């Protein structure tokens, strides 16, 4: 179904409350969460593109709800860094420039603290990832469930970077990962890239199990490269290589 088509029925049962923004009735937060989740899926799966406007009235019609729910949903997506609000233009899918993407991945591709902590705990995690997260991802790839692939991959990397034991660093890495949610679909559109990512995860788990520090660092850097490269190519085709920032 296209991201812009109206959904024939409401995704969740809503309870009306008076006094929402603009005076109209609002629904229970559960419906706003459903709207936010569906829009997040549209963005992370590439159904909505950088700078694409999110028009409140269109969203109300699509989800069969009111502006109060839509505004709550957009607020949640703005907090996650997936969209931005521009004065006199409204909400749109966030536009990351090639420079911003390169800087984010420069941090994500540096697993030094993670590798420094390799040891008995890392080996145990390697076995756990092999039994659970990895097989979940393989099942999703084989079934063609791209949303399942996205969330399984997210779970894998959260567990992997959680090894470093530095709470501040973990939080920073997760915030940066969230900032680039919307660009991952560009690489995942290629079956070859998906298959390579599958092999990378297997090899990363093997490196964890036997505490191969240098191998894990090299694998992590190689594994992350296709995402920014695919996004930057698509960005420059769409907006031009000389684009320095977001639309004003």
pLDDT tens-place string over residues 188-198 = 777 788 788 88
- Residue 177 has a pLDDT of 83
pLDDT computed for residue 131 by the predictor: 52
The average pLDDT across 231-235 equals 90
pLDDT per position as a tens digit, 119-141: 545 566 666 555 555 555 556 66
More confident call, 71 vs 244: 71
**What are the tens digits of pLDDT across the range 64-93?**
999 999 999 999 999 888 899 988 889 999
Question: What is the DSSP secondary structure assignment for residue 82, as one 8-state letter?
Answer: S
Phi/psi for 19 (5° steps) reads: 80, 30
Residue 21 is predicted with a pLDDT of 42
Distance CA 162, CA 227 (A): 21
The answer to whether the CB of 32 falls within 8 A of the CB of 69 is yes
Q: What is the mean pLDDT of residues 219-224?
A: 87
- Alpha-helical segments (H) within the chain: 29-44, 56-63, 67-79, 98-108, 112-116, 120-131, 133-143, 146-161, 167-179, 184-188, 191-209, 213-224, 226-239
pLDDT top residue among 79 and 13: 79
Contact 209, 127 (CB under 8 A): yes
Q: Which of 50, 40, 47 lies closest to 235, judged by CA?
A: 50
- What is the rounded distance in angstroms from the CA atom of residue 79 to the CA atom of residue 200? 31
Sign of CA dihedral 231, 236, 239, 245: positive
């Amino acid at each position: 179904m296209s991201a812009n088509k109206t959904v024939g029925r409401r995704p969740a049962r809503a309870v009306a409350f008076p006094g929402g923004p603009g005076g109209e009735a609002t629904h229970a937060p559960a419906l706003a969460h459903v709207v936010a989740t569906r829009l997040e899926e549209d963005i992370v799966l590439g159904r909505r593109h950088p700078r694409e406007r999110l028009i409140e009235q269109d969203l109300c019609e699509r989800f069969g709800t009111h502006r109060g729910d839509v505004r709550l949903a957009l607020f949640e997506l703005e907090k996650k860094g997936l969209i931005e609000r521009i004065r006199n233009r409204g909400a749109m899918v966030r536009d990351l420039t090639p420079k911003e993407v390169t800087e984010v991945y420069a941090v994500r591709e540096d697993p030094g603290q993670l590798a420094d902590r390799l040891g008995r705990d890392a080996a145990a995690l390697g076995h756990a990832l092999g039994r659970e997260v990895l097989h979940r991802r393989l099942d999703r790839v084989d079934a063609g469930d791209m949303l399942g692939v996205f969330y399984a991959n997210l779970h894998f990397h959260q567990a992997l970077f959680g090894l470093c034991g530095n709470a501040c660093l973990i939080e920073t890495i997760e915030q940066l990962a969230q900032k680039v949610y919307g660009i991952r679909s560009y690489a995942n559109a290629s079956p070859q890239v998906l298959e390579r990512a599958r092999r990378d995860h297997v090899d990363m788990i093997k490196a964890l199990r036997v505490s191969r520090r240098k191998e894990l660092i090299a694998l992590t850097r190689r594994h992350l490269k296709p995402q920014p490269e695919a996004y930057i190519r698509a960005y420059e085709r769409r907006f031009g290589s000389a684009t320095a920032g977001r639309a004003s």
